[in-house]
Structure 1
Amino acid sequence: MKLRATVAAVSGALALSALVVPAAQAAGGSATPSKSDILKIREAAQRASSGRTAFTASGATDAPYDMDVTFSNFKITGAVKVGTTNHVATTVTYTLTHGADVDITAADFLTGPYIYKGSYDAPDNMLFGDNPATCTATSSTTASCKGNIDVYPAEGELMNSDAGTWHGAALAIAYNGQDPTSSSFDITKVGYADQGGLGTTLVQRYSKLTVNASPEPVTKGKTITVTGKLSRANWEDNHYHGYTSQSVKLQFRKKSSSTYTTLKTIKSNSTGNLKTTTTATVDGYYRYSFAGTTTTPAVSAAGDFVDVK
């Protein structure tokens, strides 16, 4: 289940509801939970987090109880590069430590990683995995877990302002036989644990870069004009648009070489276009290369060969 947290009030609830469907199935529920079933857990989590640290349910009425589970050794790729339409899955590993009273082998015990933008207490957005993580016990109280963060840019999960640094977190839910699709569902019997600040990653707007060097062939000593465009994904309209006012290097490598040398650095214009000139010397390949930013990954165009006569 893919959910976007737009206000802090529902952040903890979204974390719970992200794993509701698998939980219902594991607990023996024959029907997929309805929206009202999910809202039941959301509202309880909202009440539980009101006036306290986000996701903390201690002391709340009709809310899940605090479960003795913590998380560590959270590992995620340094950058998640997201385009306009394709599903992106990023693997996360972490260690789950639990009390002796927590049965992580139970069919309705679930855990999973997620990442959030902004503060842990009031995240601007959150991204989860489609499925719970898989865990392997490494001792009587620890387990090694592996799960995914699944991103669907075409489904409106991201705004352009979401690009940049995100933080890692993980949660666990013990349904203890409770089926959220049942009229007898008792949320106070559900265990819940959540922990943020486990790591960081960049969620970036996928970039593209083109190049065209002309004329070809060209006489030695004559001028070569090199054009191109730097663009990046726009998560709000699912198209690529020019990345403006960015420093981009024009590079060249001789036909006999495997190494590119920077000839000059120029900036993309107001539409992301690039244009400059250089002098033809020997046969070789021209390309543009962009070093990247925190919001947009580095990219280099494939070299365009020019035959010098």
Structure 2
Amino acid sequence: MIKSPLRFEIKSTVDMESILNRQLIGASVLPLERGGLNGVVQILPLVNIALVLIDLNKPVSFCAERKPGKYHFSINLSDNPTRDSLVAQGVSITRPAIFGFNEHLKDLDLQLSAGCRFCNVIVPESFFAEKLTEFGYFFDVKDVLSNFNILSNTFVSSHFALYLNELWQNLPSLALTPKLIEQEVLSTLIECFVSHDDRKVGVALARRERHEAALQVLALTNSSPTKPFEIQDLCSILHQSRTSLFNGCKEKFKMSPLQVVRRVRLHQVRHALMDAEFCIENNISGVSDIASYFGFIGRSHFARYYKNEFLEMPRQTLSNRRYSQQTF
């Protein structure tokens, strides 16, 4: 019988990135509102495929490189996808739709609202090709996988989204084997691709150069946590003018480039303040050490930025962690 899904509590952007990097490369997470990032990620490994469900308390932006050899069929399981919309590869999705599956995509560019329930079905390409051949739909579905990145039709909303919602809600009380659940997921998914009832398809938008640069600001800051970046450094590295880089970040994240850098750094600091193991591994302790490690110079400026972001002083975050260790 099916077991309970793996459940991971998310308490920081670093936690979220570590989960994403199980299936992606170089994941970066940027909260789009102030406050700490919290949530839950559930992973249901089946026989050949896996299902992932992400629930977070803040709107976020994800970027990463994709690993080859797997299809990602994603869907927003929110009760109100119009209100809890998302943006995938530059396209706003406000209705039940499967997206992210185009076999030519090399990266992930995703923004989720706080109410999104992001579900991802991960299927090895070779296994999916076998199943398509078995069902007799290989060429029909491969045409969609090659040319489009978004699929919406009546079957997606009336069957696939409903089935996935019920599956997550009823685990592990279902008296089903992983193999049977996998067969049901795949047969329902394939039916979505062959159904033409009110069918709509969309492509991933070609990314503008300044928006690509904005994503690179996020990825670069995240991958070099101890390196200080000023605007002139970013412009030089990314071969962008100040105006282009500023406009790209504002349009993509509603922040300036330096605000992106600062928010990434503050969330990295928060993770370190809450993670004793990180501090031991990097031979740092205390608020000043951690702030300096991530490039913050000037204790008063750092404390003000931190409180403005998280509504508490950094020493309070550290004290809460130490208290929780004492009461464990």
The TM-score by the shorter chain falls in which range?
under 0.3
Structure (1 or 2) with the larger CA radius of gyration: 1
TM-score by length of 1: 0.25
Q: As a proportion of its length, which structure holds more strand?
A: 1
TM-score by length of 2: 0.24
Q: As a proportion of its length, which structure holds more helix?
A: 2
